Amino acid sequence: MLKSIILLTALLISGAAVAQQSQPALLAPVPAAAALPVLGVTPVAPANGVRYQYQLVRLDNDWRVIFAPAWRGQTALEPDTKLFRGAKTGEVDALLLQALNELSADGWELLEIRTSVQPVSATQKMETSLTFSDPNRPQYDGKTTYSSDSQTRYLFRRALLR
């Protein structure tokens, strides 16, 4: 009986030592290309000597539609229910689309849509799971998760009267 306990203890200790020695190296560092911003811009038609007035519309990270300069006396549109219970799904999108439609109806021409994605952070995580065939050799899975901030801006123009 004592021999079997000593043998079992020796096997457990040696198995733990083998498992500690077989741990993989750290995850590979995040590639530098993953941290580069991405920018997409639509081409602009030439003005041919005509002077224009410009209007910028964008969706803010705080779920507001921002105007620069002010449009119809407003610099921002936000849902009425935001302060009390949060915006409903699609409510901010509806405000944005309504503003874009009203600008078009007022004679503003959509000139440019600019979309930018700026990486903010990267998180690396190492997970282990035991395989059924050999519990002394766990399987290691490395995962990298990227977080980014994206923004779309709409630039409108309208010809100035001479």
Residue 86 pLDDT: 66
- Look up the pTM and report it: 0.61
Structural domain includes residue 145: yes
Structural domain includes residue 106: yes
What is the distance between the alpha carbons of residues 43 and 7, in angstroms, rounded to a whole number? 76
What number of CA atoms fall less than 13 Å from residue 55's CA on the CB side? 26
The parent domain of residue 95 ranges over: 27-159
What is the distance between the alpha carbons of residues 23 and 125, in angstroms, rounded to a whole number? 14
Number of domains in the chain: 1
Structural domain includes residue 38: yes
Structural domain includes residue 6: no
Give percent of the chain above pLDDT 70: 68
Which region among 4-8, 19-23, 94-98, 120-124 has the lowest average model confidence (pLDDT)?
19-23
Structural domain includes residue 8: no
Confidence of residue 11 (pLDDT cuts 50, 70, 90): very low
Structural domain includes residue 14: no
Residue 154 is encoded by which pair of tokens?
């709409």
Residue 155 pLDDT: 93
What is the distance between the alpha carbons of residues 11 and 29, in angstroms, rounded to a whole number? 36
Flag whether pLDDT at 100 surpasses 80: yes
Structural domain includes residue 150: yes
Structural domain includes residue 67: yes
Confidence of residue 9 (pLDDT cuts 50, 70, 90): low
Confidence of residue 68 (pLDDT cuts 50, 70, 90): very high
